[in-house]
Homo-oligomer: A and B are copies of this chain.
Amino acid sequence: MTDTTDRLEDSFGVVRRATLADVARDLKISPSTVSRALDPNRSTMVNKATREKIIESAERLGYRPDIQARSLMTGRTQTIVVIAADLGNRWLTPILHGVASRVSVEGIVPIIAETNDDSRVLDDLIDHMLSRRVDAMIVVGARRGDGPSIERAARMVPMVVAARPLQDVSVPVVTHDDRRGGEMIGQHFADLGHRVVAQLLGPGAVLNFPLRNEGFTSAIESAGLRQLPAIDEALRPTYDEGARLMHRLLDVSSDVPTAVFAHNDPMAIGAMSVIRERGLRIPEDISIAGYNDMPLTSLINPGLTTVRYPGWEVGHAAAEVALRLFAGEEAVESVSLNPVLKPRGSTAPLP
């Protein structure tokens, strides 16, 4: 890339960015004309010859519009923020990609921020982003009880809740049907002929998990299987917590279940390592299923039966909803996408 632009340097040789005024001065015309010439929507207002001169000069001087300054007048910042719980969480990536793929065509760049799954951090973040005048916010890291903060912010800026559902909230929610996903796992266990099953519960404050629980339990009950009572719930939906709950399940219960539903994939993998540690085989002694269909689930042995979470689609839809709200549409509706069961080697019929 050759660099033939005239640079504006101050006495110290530090480069100053070219402004509209610089271009105007260069051409001895008014900044307004330059502004209009460079805006695709208003460029027809200016004479073709002048416009070409302006474009040439702008390029030569290396002019870049200042989005901050522009937003002061227009009220738009071309920025949308995605508030996530934890950037390390791999199921976030497809969601982010979905959002980016939708908004980038509008010249909007998504900002990503992280709450560490702490509701106070969420509050602060929302505050900060309000200060930044972002065009919209997509909250993918909501916890039970975050509704009021989100609704309060929704009065100032378009808000959408995505991925993790939230009940009784007046903003649009884009997610998939966790209840149905739980049902699918329960049904799958029943189809395989299991009689005694158990769950490793994810943290109740993240509402996906109670929904998965509900769906699973209802499928189990209507199929007439027996579910061991849950000992405890995970503090965080992680590998370590999955291992801890599995230990407790095997320690406490007098019965050993023949099929276990861990509320997400990392928990399931943690549980698998514990099962093996205890000298039990998967799936011969215990079948196990997870949730999310993360990339690593197909790499482990045996492959983990799980439910595909349509992250990209959720992100894309959430962005769509956010853009609509921003455009001033009134009745923007919530969206619920469908889960898909992915049976793999970790679940098998009862011998």
The chain A residues found within 8 Å of chain B, CB to CB, are 1, 3, 7, 15, 17, 64-69, 71-72, 77, 87-88, 90, 93-94, 96-97, 100, 109, 111-114, 123, 127-128, 130-133, 148-149, 152, 155-156, 239, 269, 273, 295-296, 299-301
Which residues of the other chain, B, contact A77 by a CB distance below 8 angstroms?
68
Taking a contact as CB atoms under 8 Å apart, the answer to whether B301 and A152 are in contact is no
- The 17 listed contacts between A and B (C-beta, < 8 Å) are A7-B155, A17-B130, A64-B127, A64-B130, A65-B131, A66-B72, A66-B131, A66-B133, A68-B68, A68-B77, A68-B133, A72-B72, A87-B97, A88-B90, A88-B94, A239-B299, A299-B300
A300: chain B residues at CB < 8 Å are 299-300
Integer count of this chain's copies in the complex: 2
CB <8 Å contact, B15 and A156: yes
Measured between C-beta atoms, what is the minimum distance from A105 to chain B in Å? 13
Q: Which of B123, B148, B156, B296 contacts A17 (CB 8 A)?
A: B156
Residues of B within 8 A of A71 (CB): 68
Known: A3-B152, A239-B299. 8 other contacts (CB 8 A): A17-B156, A64-B127, A64-B130, A68-B133, A109-B113, A109-B132, A111-B111, A269-B299
A93 surroundings in chain B (CB, below 8 A): 87-88
Shortest C-beta distance, A103 to chain B (Å), equals 12
B100 and A128 contact, CB distance less than 8 A? no
Q: Which residues of B contact A66 (CB under 8 A)?
A: 72, 131, 133
Q: Please list the 4 inter-chain residue pairs (A to B) with the smallest Cβ-Cβ separation, ordered nearest first.
A: A88-B93, A112-B112, A15-B155, A68-B68
Give chain B residues whose Cβ lies under 8 Å from the Cβ of A72.
66, 68-69, 72
Which one of B65, B100, B130, B299 contacts A273 once the chains associate, using CB atoms below 8 Å? B299
Q: Which residue of B lies closest to A123 (CB)?
A: B1
How distant is A315 from chain B, measured CB to nearest CB, in Å? 11
A123–chain B nearest beta-carbon distance, Å: 7
Q: Chain B residues near A269 (CB, 8 Å)?
A: 299
**Distance of A299 Cα from B77 Cα, bound (Å):** 43
Q: Smallest CB–CB gap between A31 and chain B, Å?
A: 15
* Pairwise interchain contact B88-A109, C-beta atoms closer than 8 A: no
Q: Is the CB of B301 within 8 A of A301?
A: yes
A342 nearest CB across to chain B (Å)? 18
Q: Are B109 and A111 in contact (CB under 8 A)?
A: yes
In the complex with contacts A7-B155, A300-B299, A100-B127 CB distance below 8 A: no
